Structure 1
Amino acid sequence: MSIIHEIHNVVTPVDFSDNSKLIAESAAYLAGKFGASMHLIFVVQNFEDYSGFFVPQMTLPSLEGELAESAETKMASFSAEMKEFCESAGVKELKYKVLMGDVGEKIVEYANDVEADLIVMGTHGYKGLEKIMFGSVADKVVRAASCPVTTINPYTCCE
């Protein structure tokens, strides 16, 4: 049995925060070292779980549809910005996808669908009430993924 694990597909969730580029570049560097394809994904949170917290001015399906449209536009732009870096890093192919639902579940589901060999994602360091209400997406993914997960704390990785 070989302990060497070949990497062909790297999945990287982004949230368009200031740290997304740093996380994506780190993932591209790793994918490039293996000559792997990189899959950038963004998950639009399903608001059904939070419908009791507020009363929106528009219906939830309408709000989610607008968020998904906006996310598609942002993801296309983000991927275009990443293309040159990925090529110079040796990434075989750059793909992107916008999904909708529970963030942790969708990341794991997508990784399974594309037979990911590695997930590279950032941590957010939620504390206190935020962690109780929203949990840690990275923690959910680490626990449920069927492939290795590398997490990057963007606040400490590049000081």
Structure 2
Amino acid sequence: MKKVLIAVDYNPHSEIVVQQGYELAKTMDAQICLVHVLAEVHYYGMNYPAFMGYEGYNEMQVDIEISSQLRKVAEDFLKTAADHLNDPAVTTHLAEGNTASALLDYAEEWQADLIVMGTHSHSVLEKVLMGTTASHVLEKTKVPVYMVPVKD
């Protein structure tokens, strides 16, 4: 295994995932890439027409400034996470879209040999209704996945 992709999100437990993924990758002398997925950026800046009596939105367009700010925050987050490892060989990638799909797409594009990600504690109802990113990745992956359990 020569390429390890480590998925990070804004959960403070990501530090555990990154550290364990990094240590594993170093034992294999593998390239390391930290990846973060910015979920459906256009939803954050969407201006909707009035609906259900609510007049808060008035035009149907994407606010480019908000999208740019969200990307900047995510890029800063990734850079800080990579700098925390104090290893200039670690690269980063910011993806956008559905988290599981974007992770899998980039894993294929980058030709990752292993995906490292955390499994967050979710309620049973939440898992039944929505599933989890981890379960979606496991269902569709073409490469091994190393799951790091992180719970509150």
- The TM tier, using the shorter chain, reads 0.7 to 0.9
Does residue 82 (structure 1) correspond to residue 82 (structure 2)? The answer is no
Worse overlay, 100-109 or 127-136: 127-136
- Change beyond 3 A, Cα 1:76–1:132: same
Aligned residues: 142
Q: Matches of 1:56 and 1:17 in 2, distance apart? A: 30
Correspondence for 2:150 = 154
2:36 to 5, 17, 42: 42
Correspondence for 1:3 = none
**1:64-79 to 2 correspondences below 5 Å:** 64-79=67-82
Identity of paired residues, percent? 23
TM-score scaled by length of structure 1: 0.77
Secondary structure of the corresponding residue to residue 147 of structure 2: strand
Correspondence for 2:51 = none
Secondary structure of the corresponding residue to residue 112 of structure 2: coil
Gaps of 5+ in 2: 49-53
Superimposed CA distance per residue, residues 117-136 of structure 1 (whole angstroms, 9 cap, x where no aligned partner): 11010011222453355430
Superimposed CA distance per residue, residues 24-43 of structure 1 (whole angstroms, 9 cap, x where no aligned partner): 01001110111001110000
How big is the shift at 1:57?
Answer: 9.4
Worse overlay, 42-51 or 62-71: 42-51
Does residue 30 (structure 1) correspond to residue 33 (structure 2)? The answer is no
TM-score scaled by length of structure 2: 0.80
1:141 to 130, 137, 144: 137
Correspondence for 2:122 = 126
On the 8 A contact 2:100/2:137 being kept in 1, the answer is: yes
On the 8 A contact 2:121/2:150 being kept in 1, the answer is: no
Q: Matches of 2:40 and 2:13 in 1, distance apart? A: 23
2:11 to 17, 29, 35: 17
- Change beyond 3 A, Cα 1:76–1:21: same
Amino acid at match of 1:68: R
Q: Matches of 1:61 and 1:101 in 2, distance apart? A: 17
Correspondence for 1:4 = none
Gaps of 5+ in 1: 1-6, 88-92
Secondary structure of the corresponding residue to residue 147 of structure 1: coil
On the 8 A contact 2:121/2:151 being kept in 1, the answer is: no
Worse overlay, 34-43 or 129-138: 129-138
Q: Matches of 1:143 and 1:33 in 2, distance apart? A: 27
